[in-house]
């Protein structure tokens, strides 16, 4: 039987809107069909190269790498890499082309650019020859002959081959004969290919949908342009039969395929060595660690344990070859410190004493006895993971520094492969099916969750049959490339030799065509430079407080680690669930947990950060821990040997480090073995891996005298816990930010809330809710004022004689640019306050549109001009030319529009509506206006809930700010209901939600009746009835359901 076929021209789903299967599926199908090998040539890139390599290793099949590129004169031609040298040349070519071209208008390639270590095919329907060889329509052998002659002359570097794709249309024999004759005439190899964009025939309908969308047409309208026989990977008998008259085409494909195939792991990218400090990395790292250790731990004599741990870590780092990685991270963090950019290393890096003494993290891993091997262990091949959180509005400075320091050509951001999600898939299929835009939008709204799941309604069930059938097939196929939120890779060579680069949507940023997983698989080391909004807000607070003479316990500017520690008043506030605006603990679930947990020390915050996570909730760890903490449940351990590892969490496993410690304590594992156990038990484990793990673990427990039955129970507990455990080191890093934000809110709420408002969008709550909470903390909110406001919201610190204030800034006004606001402020500072609207417009050069925005925000009310009067005056006051103009006050009585007719002031609710629409905040809570009427109906204040007896049925009223239905809640919906006194957590059962979802799912203001429930100081309302508060006010809630 014929078994010597190498497919030289296939596509995967990384040929966006063309390929129907991911690279792994294409390679697996080739192996299943008994091909000798396959080359995937996706359009305009090497997006799937790493996935092709991994699939080939698994399937034990040879693979080639290439790309189908679009040329100026000869259409689309597959260019295949001749082993590693050719791969680097093609990657460099694509990178150069992408970066020279406009971001949105990529240009076609020139044949003169083709590198020498390549194999060039003449292509299929859109290639160099077949466009002239169309039986029954346009068949011009002479034109094809001329085109091939030109192509041969222009391809002076690479090897050219005539491609004979597998096609079944009428007249194919005539085409095959012409191609064979052309190959012979020009002395070029003839090669057989499937030229397949479809993996197997079942995917033909999916391929048609993709093709229709790519052509901006419908399936019906596009049928004429689709080939009669869709190109997919054919079986060997089919291929042998199809090319029976041209066996040389099969032989040539096989021989060329064997010659071009290579192992992509031979790329072997490494970290940069271009800086002096990286020339001898182990020596340099030791010197920097020694300097940091003396500052933090003193001498080896005064603290031998810490120095001994440092020596252990340095030895592992040197053996693993990761010293350069640590030096680069230290360099980036040191840059941030020099520039006054607040940053913090987090993640498992906080398990390392080396990271602590280098200043990368602020968690003393030695004092807290954190396990280094959770971060890095002997024999580990992949580099450790250090995430650097950076204040978000200054992250670009750090990225620019990395580009400048390590070389633009050796640094790039990692891409994020954007895949089809349910609604996008539904829209794509519906569009191809020819539905109207309104119908498509309605179908998209019907899709709720992401996939078909057992026990849950089919998200596609209510859709038309074709959409219902085909949309799930699109899920998780790549749609386009995005930009990773912070992943940046560095290499010792131009990255263009490793993976093609292209411009990101953000100006000046280049991205690789691989995502973080593919980069890691091939050996590219990623540095996570993550923007964190809360760090930016905290830094704003610290700077203002320093300017007011308020510093940290060490006399320096406040930071995350020099705040007064263990402040009882801060913990009192947290115990009350007063956490709006705080980092990580402001959600409904956290607010409900804090009064039950009752944190009184820093480690309690570490627990709190870890506890309310999907994993612990799914692992049934939350309630047992809280019950044990409250003394309602005995603290027990499956075996006494587990007590050292679990004692600090009351016998309930929460942290990944505890899993490792248990393996060490009960089975005599080494720390490195324990880390291998943790990783093997992770989310991608297989039954084979679990069986392999179980044997040495049970054997180790037997040696320690653990009974077989108990050992089995411990193994099952570890296996379950491994899926949800949170890194303790990560929780430590986050807990510092929790404490800092809580301390600022407790003592300087005006500064804290102003910084939060200036850092939007971020966090869980809207600006309106933040302002309302600031008022509850006795902060005076002053309105936007043309003569007082700046761009940002400005805080005035409280004094013994006066409450703190926040003057709202121009940034609160939707659609008003920072540039215009700064002009208003600069002109005011230079030439004095404004007295009329016309004067503002003339001095600054403001047009009607800008004046209207200021008017709607009430910015002119301090000039005794109401909102309605200002809107009336704005067309007569505006300057409809760019820039400021000379201002001459008008002669009395002559100014157009000077005499504004009597206009009634806005009603209170009208004003609130206007403020919310224009500035995102409200001067008064609408519930204050409705309260007199509601009190007569017996509607309680939210603040009364905690004082009422459990079991009492009451009515509450308010605005719905959040709707949540977590996957772990078994269909229960949670509402956050806000009135003028605060927020209440409302629990909606499945049946209740079904009955009242039309009210609660769409209304902004509601009345809800329910039973007061209380658990350990946390109060909720278990709803049983609901009514709408009729109002024109529309509050946009933040929904997670």
Q: Confidence band (pLDDT; 50, 70, 90) for 997? A: confident
Given a cut of 70, whether residue 455 has pLDDT beyond it is no
Q: Confidence band (pLDDT; 50, 70, 90) for 883? A: very low
pLDDT of 651-684, one tens digit each? 988 888 888 899 899 999 988 888 888 877 765 6
In the prediction, which pLDDT does 457 show? 59
Mean pLDDT of 506-513: 89
What does the domain layout of the chain look like in residue ranges? Answer: 6-266, 276-413+484-534, 421-475, 554-736, 748-919, 926-1040
Q: What percent of the chain has pLDDT over 70?
A: 95
Given a cut of 80, whether residue 596 has pLDDT beyond it is yes
Tell me the average pLDDT of the chain: 90
Instruction: Assign 3-class secondary structure to 463-526.
Output: CCHHHHHHHHHHCCCEEEEEEEEEEEEECCCCHHHCCCEEECCCCCCEEECCCHHHHHHHCCEE
Given a cut of 90, whether residue 476 has pLDDT beyond it is no
Given a cut of 90, whether residue 594 has pLDDT beyond it is yes
How is domain 926-1040 classified at the architecture level of CATH? Beta Barrel (2.40)
Q: Is residue 674 within a helix (H) or strand (E), and if so which, with residue range?
A: helix 671-680
Mean pLDDT of 1001-1008: 91
pLDDT of 254-297, one tens digit each? 999 999 999 999 998 998 887 777 788 999 999 999 999 999 99
How far is residue 915 CA from its own chain's centroid?
A: 32
Between CA 141 and CA 149, with CA 144 as vertex, the angle to 5 degrees is 125
Mean pLDDT of 785-801: 96
pLDDT of 79-104, one tens digit each? 999 999 999 999 999 999 999 876 55
Mean pLDDT of 763-777: 94
Q: What percent of the chain has pLDDT over 90?
A: 69
The closest of 772, 825, 818 to 977, measured between CA atoms, is 772
Given a cut of 80, whether residue 502 has pLDDT beyond it is yes
* pTM, 2 dp: 0.88
The closest of 974, 983, 1003 to 941, measured between CA atoms, is 983
In the prediction, which pLDDT does 448 show? 59
In the prediction, which pLDDT does 263 show? 95
Q: Confidence band (pLDDT; 50, 70, 90) for 629? A: very high
Given a cut of 60, whether residue 452 has pLDDT beyond it is no
In the prediction, which pLDDT does 685 show? 59
Given a cut of 70, whether residue 429 has pLDDT beyond it is yes
How is domain 276-413+484-534 classified at the architecture level of CATH? 2-Layer Sandwich (3.30)
Paired strand residues for 794: 807
Q: Confidence band (pLDDT; 50, 70, 90) for 108? A: confident
Report for 520-529, 782-791, 928-937: range of highest mean pLDDT = 782-791
In the prediction, which pLDDT does 899 show? 62
In the prediction, which pLDDT does 893 show? 46
**Which residue, chain included where needed, has tokens 């890093």?**
733
Residues 744 and 525: beta-carbon distance below 8 Å: no
In the prediction, which pLDDT does 902 show? 80
In the prediction, which pLDDT does 549 show? 94
Mean pLDDT of 97-116: 80
Q: Is residue 191 within a helix (H) or strand (E), and if so which, with residue range?
A: strand 190-193
pLDDT of 842-880, one tens digit each? 999 999 999 999 999 999 999 999 999 999 988 888 886
In the prediction, which pLDDT does 960 show? 94
Given a cut of 70, whether residue 453 has pLDDT beyond it is no
pLDDT of 720-768, one tens digit each? 777 667 888 889 999 999 999 999 999 999 999 999 999 999 988 999 9
Residues 339 and 397: beta-carbon distance below 8 Å: yes
In the prediction, which pLDDT does 878 show? 82
Residues 220 and 434: beta-carbon distance below 8 Å: yes
Given a cut of 70, whether residue 337 has pLDDT beyond it is yes
pLDDT of 307-326, one tens digit each? 999 999 999 999 988 999 99
In the prediction, which pLDDT does 684 show? 60
Question: Which CATH topology does 6-266 take?
Answer: TIM Barrel (3.20.20)
**Helix, strand, or coil (residue 691):** helix
34 Rama class: left (phi>0) / alpha (psi -120 to 50) / beta = left
In the prediction, which pLDDT does 688 show? 65
């Amino acid at each position: 039987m014929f078994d010597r076929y190498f497919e030289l021209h296939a596509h995967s789903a990384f040929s966006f809107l063309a390929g129907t299967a991911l690279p792994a599926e294409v390679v697996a199908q080739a192996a299943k069909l008994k091909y000798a090998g396959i080359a995937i040539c996706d359009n305009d890139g090497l997006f799937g190269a790493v996935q092709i390599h991994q699939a080939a290793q698994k399937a034990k099949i040879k693979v080639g790498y290439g790309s189908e590129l679009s040329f100026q004169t000869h259409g689309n031609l597959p260019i295949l890499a001749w082993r590693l040298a050719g791969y680097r040349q093609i990657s460099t070519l694509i990178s150069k082309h992408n970066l020279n071209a406009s971001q949105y208008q990529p240009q076609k390639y020139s044949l003169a650019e083709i590198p020498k270590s390549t194999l060039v095919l003449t292509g299929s329907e859109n290639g160099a020859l077949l466009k002239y060889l169309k039986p029954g329509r346009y068949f011009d052998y002479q034109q094809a002959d001329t085109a091939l002659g030109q192509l041969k002359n222009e391809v002076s570097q690479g090897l050219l081959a005539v491609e004979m794709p597998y096609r079944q249309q009428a007249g194919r024999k005539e085409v095959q004969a012409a191609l064979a004759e052309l190959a012979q005439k020009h002395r070029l190899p003839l090669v057989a290919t499937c030229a397949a964009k479809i993996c197997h025939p079942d995917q033909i309908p999916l391929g048609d949908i993709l093709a229709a969308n790519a052509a901006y047409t419908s399936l019906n309208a596009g049928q004429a342009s689709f080939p009669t026989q869709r190109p997919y990977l054919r079986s060997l008998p089919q291929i042998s039969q199809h090319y029976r008259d041209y066996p040389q085409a099969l032989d040539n494909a096989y021989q060329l395929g064997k010659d071009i195939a290579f192992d992509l792991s031979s790329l072997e990218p490494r970290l940069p060595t271009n800086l002096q400090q990286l020339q001898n990395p182990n020596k340099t790292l030791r010197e920097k660690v020694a300097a940091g250790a003396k500052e933090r731990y003193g001498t080896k004599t005064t603290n031998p344990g810490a120095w001994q741990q440092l020596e252990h870590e340095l030895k592992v780092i040197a053996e693993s070859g990761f010293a350069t990685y640590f030096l680069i991270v230290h360099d980036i963090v040191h840059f941030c410190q020099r520039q006054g950019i607040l940053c913090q290393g987090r993640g498992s890096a906080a398990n390392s004493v080396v990271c602590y003494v280098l200043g990368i993290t602020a968690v003393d891993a030695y004092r807290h006895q954190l396990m280094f091997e959770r971060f890095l262990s002997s024999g580990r091949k992949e580099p450790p993971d250090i995430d650097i959180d950076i204040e978000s509005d200054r992250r670009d400075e750090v990225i620019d520094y990395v580009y400048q320091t390590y070389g633009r050509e050796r640094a790039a951001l990692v891409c994020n492969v954007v895949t089809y999600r349910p609604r996008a898939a539904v829209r794509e299929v519906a569009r191809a099916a020819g539905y109207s835009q309104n119908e498509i939008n309605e179908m998209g709204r019907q899709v709720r969750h992401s996939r078909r799941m057992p026990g849950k309604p089919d998200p596609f069930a209510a859709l038309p049959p074709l959409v219902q059938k085909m949309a799930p097939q699109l899920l998780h196929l790549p749609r386009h490339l995005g930009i990773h939120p912070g992943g940046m890779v560095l290499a010792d060579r131009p990255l263009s030799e490793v993976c093609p680069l292209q411009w990101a949507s953000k100006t000046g940023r280049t991205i690789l065509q691989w995502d973080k997983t593919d980069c890691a698989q091939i050996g590219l080391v990623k540095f996570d430079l993550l923007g964190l909004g809360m760090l930016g807000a905290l830094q704003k607070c610290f700077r203002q407080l320093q300017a007011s003479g308020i510093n940290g316990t060490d006399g320096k500017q406040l930071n995350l680690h020099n705040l007064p520690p263990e402040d009882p008043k801060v913990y009192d506030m947290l115990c009350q669930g007063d956490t709006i605006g705080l980092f990580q603990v402001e959600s409904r679930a956290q607010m409900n947990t804090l009064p039950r947990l009752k944190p009184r020390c820093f480690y309690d915050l570490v627990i709190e950060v870890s506890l309310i996570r999907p994993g612990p909730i799914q692992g049934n760890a939350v309630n047992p821990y809280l019950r044990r903490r409250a003394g309602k449940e005995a603290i027990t351990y499956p075996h006494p040997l587990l007590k050292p590892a679990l004692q600090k969490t009351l016998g309930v496993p929460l942290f990944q480090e505890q899993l490792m410690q248990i393996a060490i304590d009960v089975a005599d594992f080494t720390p490195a073995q324990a880390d291998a156990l943790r990783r093997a038990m992770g989310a991608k484990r297989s039954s084979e891996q679990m069986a392999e793990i179980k044997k040495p673990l049970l054997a180790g427990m037997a040696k320690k005298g653990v009974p077989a039955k108990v050992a089995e129970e411990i193994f099952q507990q570890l296996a379950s816990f491994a899926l949800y455990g949170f890194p303790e080191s990560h929780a430590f890093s986050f807990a510092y930010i929790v404490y800092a934000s809580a301390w600022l809110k407790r003592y300087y709420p005006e500064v804290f809330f102003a910084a939060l408002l200036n850092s939007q969008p971020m966090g869980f709550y809207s600006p309106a809710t933040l302002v309302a909470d600031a008022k509850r903390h006795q902060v005076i909110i002053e309105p936007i004022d043309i003569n007082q406001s700046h761009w940002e919201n400005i805080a005035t610190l409280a004094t013994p004689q006066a409450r703190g204030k926040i003057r709202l800034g121009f940034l609160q006004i939707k659609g008003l640019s920072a540039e215009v606001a700064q002009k208003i402020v600069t002109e005011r500072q230079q030439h004095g306050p404004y007295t009329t609207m016309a004067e503002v417009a003339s001095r600054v050069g403001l047009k009607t549109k800008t004046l209207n925005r200021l008017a709607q925000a009430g910015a002119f009310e301090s000039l005794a001009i109401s909102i309605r009067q200002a809107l009336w005056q704005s067309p007569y006051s505006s300057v409809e030319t760019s820039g400021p103009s000379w201002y001459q006050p008008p002669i009395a009585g002559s100014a157009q529009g000077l005499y504004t007719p009597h206009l009634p002031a806005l009603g209170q609710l009208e004003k609130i509506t206007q403020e919310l629409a224009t500035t995102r905040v409200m001067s008064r809570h609408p519930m204050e206006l409705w309260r007199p009427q509601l009190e007569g109906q017996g509607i309680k204040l939210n603040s009364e809930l905690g004082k009422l007896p459990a079991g009492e049925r009451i009515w509450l009223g308010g605005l719905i700010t959040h709707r949540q239905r977590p996957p772990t809640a078994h269909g229960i919906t949670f509402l956050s209901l806000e009135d003028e006194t605060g927020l209440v957590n409302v629990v909606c059962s499945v049946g209740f939600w079904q009955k009242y979802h039309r009210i609660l799912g769409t209304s902004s203001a509601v009345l809800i009746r329910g039973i007061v429930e209380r658990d350990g100081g946390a109060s909720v309302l278990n709803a049983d009835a609901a009514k709408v508060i009729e109002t024109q006010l529309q509050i946009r809630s933040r929904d997670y359901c």
